[in-house]
Chain A
Amino acid sequence: MAKEFEFEKLIIELEARIKELQAISETRKIDLSREIRAINEKVDALKNDVYGNLEPWQITQVARHINRPSTLDLIKHLCGEEFVELHGDRLFGDDPAIVSGIGRIGDQRVMIIGHQKGHDTEENIYRNFGMPHPEGYRKALRMMRTAERFGLPIIAFIDTPGAFPGIGAEERGQSDAIARNLAEMSGIRVPILCFVTGEGGSGGALAIGVGDRVFMFEFSVYSVISAEGCAAILWNDPAKTKEAATALKLRATNLLEAGIIDGILPEPIGGAHRNHQMAADEIKKQIEKHLPSLLAMNADKLLDERYKKFRGMGRFTREEELEHA
Chain B
Amino acid sequence: MGWFDKLTRPRRDTPSDLWKKCPACNETLLIKDLAKNLFLCSKCDHHLRMPLWDRIALLTDDNSFVEIDHDMKSVDPLSFVDSKPYPERMAEAIKKTDVNEAVATGRATLSGRKVLLGVMNFDFMGGSMGSVVGEKLTTILELGAQEKAPVIIVSASGGARMQEGIFSLMQMAKTSAAVKRLNQAAVPFVSIMTDPTTGGVSASFASLGDVNIAEPGALIGFAGPRVIEQTIRQKLPEGFQRSKFLLEHGMLDCVIHRRVMKNTVARILRLLVA
| Chain A contacts to B: CB under 8 angstroms | 163-167, 169-176, 178-180, 182-184, 186-187, 202-203, 206-207, 209-210, 222-225, 229-230, 233-236, 243-244, 247-250, 254-255, 258, 260, 306-307, 310-311, 313-320, 322
CB-CB under 8 A from B162, the residues of chain A are: 224-225, 230, 233-234, 248
A258 with B77: in contact, given A175-B221, A182-B177, A250-B166 (CB under 8 Å)? yes
Separation in Å of the A313 CB from the closest CB of chain B? 4
Bound-complex Cα distance A148 to B20 (A): 54
Q: Does B236 contact A (CB under 8 A)?
A: yes
* Chain A min CB distance to B179 (Å): 6
Q: Chain A contacts of B72 at CB under 8 A?
A: 316-318
Q: Which residues of A contact B250 (CB under 8 A)?
A: 173
B166 with A167: CB separation less than 8 A: no
Bound: A171/B224 CA distance, A: 13
Which residues of the partner chain B approach A254 to less than 8 Å between Cβ atoms?
A: 166
Size of the B side of the interface (Cβ < 8 Å), in residues, is 69
Given A170-B223, A179-B204, A182-B177, A248:B241 Cβ within 8 A: no
B180 contacts A318, C-beta separation under 8 Å? no
Which of B138, B179, B221 sits near A311, CB closer than 8 Å?
B138
Contact across chains for A174 and B208 when beta carbons are under 8 A apart: no
Which A residues are CB-close (under 8 A) to B202? 175, 179
- B132 interface contact, C-beta 8 A: yes
Known: A234-B82, A314-B135. A223 touches B241 (CB 8 A): no
Contact with A along B164-188 (1 / 0, CB 8 A): 1111111111101111110110000
Give the top 6 A-B pairs by smallest Cβ distance, nearest first: A165-B223, A314-B131, A182-B176, A186-B177, A174-B222, A313-B170
Do A316 and B74 form a contact, CB below 8 Å, given A175-B207, A310-B173? yes
B241 CB contacts on chain A under 8 angstroms: 170
How many whole Å from A248's CB to the nearest CB in chain B?
5
Please measure, in the bound complex, the distance between the C-alpha atom of A233 and the C-alpha atom of B11, giving whole angstroms.
Answer: 31
Q: What are 19 sample pairs from A and B whose C-beta atoms fall under 8 A apart?
A: A166-B228, A170-B222, A170-B240, A174-B221, A175-B203, A178-B204, A179-B203, A179-B204, A182-B177, A206-B173, A224-B164, A224-B169, A225-B160, A247-B78, A258-B77, A260-B166, A317-B75, A318-B72, A319-B73
Asked whether, in the complex, the Cβ of B73 is within 8 Å of the Cβ of A176, the reply is no
How far, in angstroms, from A271 to B251 measured CA to CA in the complex? 42
| Chain B residue at smallest Cβ distance from A315 | B77
The residue among B206, B228, B240 with the most chain A CB atoms within 10 A of its own CB is B228
Cβ-based interface call for B231 (8 A): yes
Q: Which of A163, A164, A223 contacts B165 (CB 8 A)?
A: A223
Contact A183 B174 (CB under 8 A): no
**Which chain A positions have C-beta within 8 A of B249?**
171-173
Determine how close the nearest CB of chain A comes to the CB of B229; give it in whole angstroms: 9
Q: Does the CB pair B73–A317 fall under 8 Å?
A: yes
